[in-house]
């Protein structure tokens, strides 16, 4: 199945989702505007518990942008949205009929948010850190097949492949909702080769968000159009 991918572009004020579409938003986490007021009390307390100022700022901006993005589909005020959390912490909207599926990720100064009409979505973004000891992390977190795939790659392209496999695993785990506690952490051979893959349940698509960040989107519904919005 082919996937139509739009360029990153400005969104309409009230975006519309069809069952054939998934939307992916990217946004910087460097907003100078005060956004705390968009968060509820529990979220504000969570931000206050984050001792590293950059982490706290990123959390506040990402949560506020998430609320604004979801509210734009629903024609509601961002502050009125209520979230419920799955067993491993995956957020979902509560109290809204036909609420869209969504997932958020942030890394460094960038956030991404995936929104789908049906099924589940997961997204991950990673900053392409040139200093990261990726070989150590691969040994610790990747399966034998994933490590073999990485080793087969020429050395000069291996770091980038590591981030690709990493974001694929994370996006898929986040789509399923289990995160670290999911007993099945192996994405399997189908999702190692190619940038748009399907294993019978999950579609995965990887792409650069900008020169420094790579993202993967995981979707459990059939879709043919990926709209990409600058948030």
Ligand X SMILES: CC(C)(COP(=O)(O)OP(=O)(O)OC[C@H]1O[C@@H](n2cnc3c(N)ncnc32)[C@H](O)[C@@H]1OP(=O)(O)O)[C@@H](O)C(=O)NCCC(=O)NCCS
Question: Closer CB to ligand X, residue 72 or residue 167?
Answer: 167
Q: Is 169 in the site for ligand X (CB under 6 A)?
A: yes
Stretch that binds ligand X, among 67-75, 88-96, 152-160, 222-230 (CB under 6 A): 88-96
Question: Which CB, 57 or 118, lies closer to ligand X?
Answer: 57
Q: Is 191 in the site for ligand X (CB under 6 A)?
A: no
Please enumerate in sequence order all residues whose Cβ is within 8 A of that of 102, keeping only pairs 6 or more positions apart, or say none: 66, 69, 70, 91, 92, 93, 113, 114, 115, 116, 121
Query: Is residue 180 a contact point for ligand X (CB under 6 A)?
Result: yes
Which of 88, 109, 143, 147 touches ligand X (CB under 6 A)?
88
- Which of 21, 120, 124, 146 touches ligand X by CB under 6 A? 124
C-alpha 29/C-alpha 32 separation (Å) is 9
Sign of CA dihedral 139, 142, 144, 147: negative
Q: Is 228 in the site for ligand X (CB under 6 A)?
A: no
Least separation in angstroms between CB 122 and ligand X: 6
Q: Which of 90, 191, 205, 228 binds ligand X (CB under 6 A)?
A: 90
220 binds ligand X (CB under 6 A): no
Indicate which single residue of 11, 15, 91, 108 sits in contact with ligand X (rule: CB under 6 A): 91
Contact between 183 and ligand X (CB under 6 A)?
no
DSSP string for 161-209: HHHHHHHHHHHHHHHHT-GGG-S-----GGGTSSSEEE-SS-EEEEEEE
Relative to beta strand 4-9, strand 225-230 is parallel
Give the span between the Cα atoms of 20 and 32, in whole angstroms: 36
Q: b/e map of 117-130 (b: 16 or more CB within 10 Å)?
A: bbbbbbbbbbbbee
**DSSP 8-class letter at 6:** E
CA proximity to 180, closest of 88, 91, 87 = 88
Q: Is 89 in the site for ligand X (CB under 6 A)?
A: yes
104 sits near ligand X (criterion: CB under 6 A): yes
**8 forms part of the interface with ligand X (CB under 6 A):** no
Query: Is residue 65 near ligand X by the rule CB under 6 A?
Result: no
Residues that bind ligand X (CB under 6 A): 59, 62-63, 88-91, 103-106, 122, 124, 141, 166, 169-170, 173-174, 177, 179-180, 185
């Amino acid at each position: 199945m082919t996937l139509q991918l739009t360029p990153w572009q400005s969104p309409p004020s009230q975006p519309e989702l069809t069952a054939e579409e998934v939307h992916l938003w990217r946004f910087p986490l460097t907003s100078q505007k005060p956004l705390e007021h968009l968060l509820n009390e529990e979220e504000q307390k969570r931000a206050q518990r984050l001792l590293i100022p950059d982490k706290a700022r990123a959390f506040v901006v990402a949560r506020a942008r998430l609320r604004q993005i979801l509210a734009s589909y629903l024609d509601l005020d961002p502050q009125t949205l209520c979230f419920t959390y799955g067993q491993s912490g995956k957020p979902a909207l509560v109290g809204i009929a036909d609420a869209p599926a969504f997932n958020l990720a942030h890394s460094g100064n960038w956030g991404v948010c995936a929104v789908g009409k049906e099924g589940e979505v997961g997204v991950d973004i990673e900053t392409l850190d040139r200093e990261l000891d990726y070989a150590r992390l691969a040994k610790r977190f990747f399966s034998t097949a994933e490590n073999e795939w990485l080793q087969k790659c020429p050395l000069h392209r291996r770091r980038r492949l590591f981030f690709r496999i990493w974001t694929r695993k994370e996006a898929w785990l986040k789509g399923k909702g289990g995160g670290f506690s999911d007993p099945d952490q192996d994405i399997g051979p189908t999702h190692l080769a190619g940038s748009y893959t399907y294993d019978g349940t999950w579609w995965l698509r990887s792409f650069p968000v900008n020169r420094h960040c790579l993202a993967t989107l995981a979707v459990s519904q059939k879709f043919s159009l990926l709209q990409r919005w600058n948030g």
